[in-house]
Amino acid sequence: MKKILITIVCILPIFSVGCSKMIPSYRIDVQQGNIIHQHDINRVRPGMTKKQVSFVLGTPLIRDAFNQDRWDYIYTLNHGRRKAVKKRVSVLFSNDKVIGVEGDLKPQTDVPASKPDKTVVVEIDPGKKKKKKGVLRRIIGGKKK
């Protein structure tokens, strides 16, 4: 009787845990490619050189070996268990000048030029902050150099 009781006490937690909802493991957010924003795409204008586009959007993720006049910018963001965010933009060139932009984001010409970000000035007290002695220094009583 005692063995049966011990067996039941040992097996009961296993059954109760087995019937519960499993706790999912944590999945990190994975960001890949060039971060693409609409305001960056709005800065790309026809007639810009490849160097200027590279300054505005960064180096392209994919440079087609067979078509040097097409730069592809791809961005993916996987939010753990949620649906992934994917953006793709292709910049087309002719004679090293921009002739068009294709993809998920297109330049918007009716948008006014964005204002520069506000600058916030924070003053820091230059007073010297006294450091607290560590545990070992307090026990030994030695002076800090």
Q: Answer whether residue 119 is part of any domain.
A: no
pLDDT tens digits, one per residue of 25-48? 788 889 999 888 898 899 999 999
CATH number for the domain including 106? 3.30.1450
Q: Helix, strand, coil: what percent of the chain each, to 5?
A: 25, 25, 50
pLDDT tens digits, one per residue of 79-118? 888 898 999 999 999 999 999 999 998 888 776 655 556 6
Q: Answer whether residue 141 is part of any domain.
A: no
Counted domains in the chain: 1
Q: Answer whether residue 39 is part of any domain.
A: yes
First to last CA, the chain: 71
Q: Answer whether residue 13 is part of any domain.
A: no
User: Which of 4-8, 12-16, 49-53 has the largest mean confidence?
Assistant: 49-53
pTM for the whole thing?
A: 0.59
Q: Answer whether residue 122 is part of any domain.
A: no
Domain that residue 52 falls in: 29-114
